[in-house]
Structure 1
Amino acid sequence: MGAVRFIDTIEGLDEIFETDIPKGSVVLITGAPGSLKSGLAFSILSKYLNGCEEFGAYITLEQSKKNHLQNMKSMGIELSDRLFISDFTDCRMQSTAYTSDLLSLIEKNIIHNKHELGDKFTCLALDSLGALYSLLDIEPQLMRKRLYHLLEPLRREKLTTFLIMETADPTGSNHDFEGYLADGIIELGFHTKDDTANRYLKVRKMRASSHNMDSHILTVSNDGLQIYKSTIF
């Protein structure tokens, strides 16, 4: 049995990629509300960690841990015992003085996991950048500089990082900075034809990995997420 791969975690993902998402990559998952961004990141991490001896973290700023897990369970996605949920949603209720140092709290959480688990701590997700930005009263230029300084150590530590970002423009044209920082961009969205709407997934880029750039249908089944090619596009 070969080593577990990120692209083996969701049925059909290995039809898009010829080679795996490189370890230590920063991957931006972007798309409209309801396009399954959180479900995709959570499913990849949980199923990946279930197949290996590694550990990961899912940092949530959008939903409480309880609500997030209920949402994932409704889609047939189970939490891995090796995936830790770090719930920062309470920061929404705190003072500006507290939330202004939110990035430092997130950094400390990641460093703690790394110190505790060493090389076995290999991957994480941040859900979401939009929530992070809304909680930080920092001008955009400084925010981008701090985000850069957060991501670079993660790359050096070879932590595969999934960043979730909600956008009305899934092509990412309004988020050039985040796209520039990321090694990969996975675009999620909706395609409507003949009054029928389908969710789709498209890999816009993934450095050091062979993949196609076609749009694929993304669905929810009893066993979680599934991806398949379709002629509707």
Structure 2
Amino acid sequence: MPCGAKKFEYMHNTYTTQIIYDKKEVWDRSGGAQMKVNRIKTYVKGLDEVIQGGIPDGSVILVAGKPGTMKSSFAFNILYHNANREDKSGVYVTLEQGRESLLTNMDGLGMKLGGLEKEISVLDLGMIRKKLVQLTNQTWMEVFKMYLKNLKKNMDINLVVIDSLPILEVMARFDSPREELFHFFEWLRDMQVTAFLITEMEQGSEKFCHNSEDFLADGIIHLDLRRDETDVKLWLSVVKMRQTNHKRNYLPLIFDKDGFEVVTD
């Protein structure tokens, strides 16, 4: 067996052990009672109730969907309301559109950054490239991690959104994507943040990702568009969520002046 294959097999076995441990960790071995898990609220009406109060703190979550499924808005909503209501700091890393464009779009949805600049930092690709020019001896990924580590140190960030994971993989120029993503996910966990990684699904495909990110992630939230005779509607499923007892059925997801809501009735 090639050396690289042996290394990935070891990673696979190690991570499988971790998954089993995570499942057991939720239960008290002495009596089978469920242990308390700290959770991050999504502030999507109806969603927190079906995932036992929110996302387990410290998780790495994939937010997957095809174009037009409001993935960016959904993730920003979590960041915004946790800053506004829970005093939790966060960073939104936008690699596909500029900072001002993103903020204009979110402002149009009623999520104005004004007054929350100390709690929410928005980092775009141009800012990373500018720093990369200054630090010619460092790789793109090293500069990216440096930014996040500095924000963790200076703002004590609790939440991270990366928009999007496929673009990050392209910019980082991974030689061995699965192995390097494994280490990147572990690095995020070591940062002690809850991370939301947006991933774009291809039209006509049911795959959530391209390089086994769904296996590495602690959770997957799938946003889907469905067409009927007269309308196109948005649906949501919590496909995977470690440390959480949840159903995987699809629920209608709506957005109006009051924000996001899943219809559970």
Stretch of structure 1 that moved more, 106-115 or 181-190: 106-115
1:113 counterpart residue number: 151
* Aligned pair partner of 1:85 in 119, 122, 125: 122
- What is the rounded CA distance, in whole Å, between the counterparts of 1:49 and 1:210 in structure 2? 26
- What is the rounded CA distance, in whole Å, between the counterparts of 2:230 and 2:129 in structure 1? 38
Greater strand content? 1
By how many angstroms is 1:32 displaced? 0.2
1:124 counterpart residue number: 160
What amino acid maps onto 1:186 in structure 2? Answer: I
By how many angstroms is 1:176 displaced? 5.6
- What is the rounded CA distance, in whole Å, between the counterparts of 1:89 and 1:202 in structure 2? 33
What amino acid maps onto 1:213 in structure 2? Answer: R
Cα distance change on mapping 1:203 and 1:143 into 2, 3 Å: same
By how many angstroms is 1:156 displaced? 2.3
By how many angstroms is 1:122 displaced? 1.3
What amino acid maps onto 2:253 in structure 1? Answer: L
By how many angstroms is 1:90 displaced? 6.1
By how many angstroms is 1:148 displaced? 2.2
Aligned length: 221
Q: Does 1:222 align with 2:257?
A: yes
For residues 53-93 of structure 1, the C-alpha deviation after alignment (integer angstroms, 9 at most, x for no partner) is 33111111011010001111222223343111011146689
CA contact (8 A) 1:77 1:224 kept: no
- What is the rounded CA distance, in whole Å, between the counterparts of 1:133 and 1:49 in structure 2? 28
The DSSP-based 3-state class of the residue aligned with 1:135 is helix
What amino acid maps onto 2:145 in structure 1? Answer: E
By how many angstroms is 1:217 displaced? 1.4
What amino acid maps onto 1:123 in structure 2? Answer: L
* Aligned pair partner of 1:151 in 185, 206, 216: 185
CA contact (8 A) 1:130 1:166 kept: yes
| Structure 1 residues not aligned, in runs of 5+ | none
CA contact (8 A) 2:177 2:211 kept: no
- What is the rounded CA distance, in whole Å, between the counterparts of 1:16 and 1:170 in structure 2? 27
The DSSP-based 3-state class of the residue aligned with 1:190 is strand
Stretch of structure 1 that moved more, 61-70 or 205-214: 205-214
The DSSP-based 3-state class of the residue aligned with 2:244 is coil
- What is the rounded CA distance, in whole Å, between the counterparts of 1:21 and 1:170 in structure 2? 26
Stretch of structure 1 that moved more, 59-68 or 100-109: 100-109
The DSSP-based 3-state class of the residue aligned with 1:226 is strand
Larger Rg: 2
2:83 counterpart residue number: 49
What amino acid maps onto 1:101 in structure 2? Answer: T
Give the percent of matched residue pairs that are identical in Structure 1 and Structure 2: 31
| Cα RMSD after superposing both structures | 2.7
Q: Does 1:13 align with 2:47?
A: yes
CA contact (8 A) 1:31 1:170 kept: no
- What is the rounded CA distance, in whole Å, between the counterparts of 2:205 and 2:39 in structure 1? 26
- Higher RCO structure (Cα 8 Å, ≥6 apart): 1
Q: Does 1:191 align with 2:226?
A: yes
| Structure 2 residues not aligned, in runs of 5+ | 1-37
Q: How does 1:130-169 map to 2 (within 5 A)?
A: 130-139=166-175, 142-168=176-202
By how many angstroms is 1:158 displaced? 1.9
- What is the rounded CA distance, in whole Å, between the counterparts of 2:206 and 2:49 in structure 1? 22
By how many angstroms is 1:52 displaced? 2.2
1:205 counterpart residue number: 240
For residues 129-174 of structure 1, the C-alpha deviation after alignment (integer angstroms, 9 at most, x for no partner) is 12223334444xx233222222212212321000000012674365
- What is the rounded CA distance, in whole Å, between the counterparts of 1:159 and 1:85 in structure 2? 16
The DSSP-based 3-state class of the residue aligned with 1:121 is coil
CA contact (8 A) 1:41 1:162 kept: yes
TM-score, normalising length from structure 2? 0.74
Q: Does 1:35 align with 2:73?
A: no
TM-score, normalising length from structure 1? 0.83
